[in-house]
Amino acid sequence: MAERYILVTGGAGFIGSHTVVELLEEGESVVIIDNLSNAAADDKGLPPALKRVQDLVNEKHRKRLHFRKGNYGDRKILDSIFTEFPIYAVVHFGAFKAVGESKQVPMKYYKNNVKEALSLLKAMNAHGVKNLIFSSSCTVYAEVPPEKLPLTEDSPLGECNCAYASSKYFIENILRDVTVSDGQWKVMSLRYFNPVGAHHSGMIGEDPKGIPTNLMPYIAQVAVGRREELNVFGSDYPTPDGTPVRDYVHVVDIAKGHVAALKALPAMQQSFRAYNLGSGVGTSVLEMVQAFERASGVVIKTVMKDRRPGD
């Protein structure tokens, strides 16, 4: 394979960093752009997660990893990346993702998730880079009755109940329009459900700045004493134990899904395709807590709270 590079936006994040490992191990060269808004950084600005990525891969792979700090929609930075590196495709993770926060500050989400994405697409188009893997979400689907589950790629879309979901839905529609206007584009949108877990090495995983918004890191922080208790939002859902049910999928499987999507781009018969990434199995919050307790031997203190807006 002639040298080519994959640009990964948000590559210092949870899913992004795991995907970078998989890309490097597949022999790809990678450029990451990340503003580190949800990732710790040392005094040199290099995220610890990416230092650990470097430690995970061999020296040959390590030399093929490059990092640029900045907003993924910054046209000046993007132009310099596209000029310096022969970018073959973009894997786009660079979005804010907290459902609750997106209901409180929707404009923040539309600016970062939509406006900046448009800037990225314009830069890609200007430099003739028209291969894109988009990190979408199951939240683009409309609510359906239980008999219509599990969700498939043909399930109805829209009726989004928060700015995060709407931003993903809007970008998918924009990408469809772009591919219709120019058939040279090849776009794959991966709608994943609830990524959990960590790399088998234990060196990278989900360790957000501030209070976790996802279940697994919150449970883990309670287990090690960083937090006193786990708030369970909603105990009156129509589920066996009353707590929300989610489709949890391991983050490494998600990462491998992005690599598979990248490999499939050349053979795409349509310019835009969407695929679900999930297990198809529902697990409640309490079931997840109990599984963690069994695996760790640590009792997790839980407190029942009212439902969260957007859930």
pLDDT in tens, the chain (311 residues): 458 999 999 999 999 999 999 999 999 999 999 999 877 666 566 788 899 999 999 888 889 999 999 999 999 999 999 999 999 999 999 999 999 899 999 999 999 999 999 999 999 999 999 999 999 999 999 999 989 989 999 999 999 999 999 999 999 999 999 999 999 999 999 999 999 999 999 999 998 778 888 999 999 999 999 999 999 999 999 999 999 999 999 999 999 999 999 999 999 999 999 999 999 999 999 999 999 999 999 999 999 999 976 66
> What span, in angstroms and rounded, lies between the C-alpha atoms of 189 and 174?
12
Per-residue confidence (pLDDT) for residue 53, from 0 to 100: 94
Burial class (CB in 10 A: 0-12, 13-18, 19+), 51: middle
Give helix then strand counts, H and E, for the chain. Answer: 11, 12
> What span, in angstroms and rounded, lies between the C-alpha atoms of 3 and 72?
23
In which element (H, E) is residue 120 found? helix 116-126
Q: What is the pLDDT of residues 155-210, one digit of tens each?
A: 999 999 999 999 999 999 999 999 999 999 999 999 999 999 999 999 999 987 78
Listed by start position, the domains of the chain span 5-198+250-278
Question: Residue 33 is which amino acid?
Answer: I
Q: Residue 74: how many CB atoms within 10 A of its CB?
A: 18
Taking the alpha carbons at both ends of the chain, their separation in whole angstroms is 45
Give the chain's largest Cα–Cα span: 56
> What span, in angstroms and rounded, lies between the C-alpha atoms of 255 and 278?
12
CATH number of 5-198+250-278: 3.40.50.720
Dihedral (CA of 102, 104, 105, 107) sign:
positive
Q: Tell me if 167 sits within 8 A of 114, measured CB to CB.
A: yes
DSSP state of 267: G
Question: Residue 139 is which amino acid?
Answer: T
Q: Tell me if 99 sits within 8 A of 167, measured CB to CB.
A: no
> What span, in angstroms and rounded, lies between the C-alpha atoms of 226 and 92?
32
Q: Tell me if 165 sits within 8 A of 158, measured CB to CB.
A: no
Question: Residue 38 is which amino acid?
Answer: N
Catalytic residues: 164
Length of the chain equals: 311
Q: Tell me if 208 sits within 8 A of 221, measured CB to CB.
A: no
- Report the SS3 class of residue 41: coil
Whole-prediction pTM: 0.94
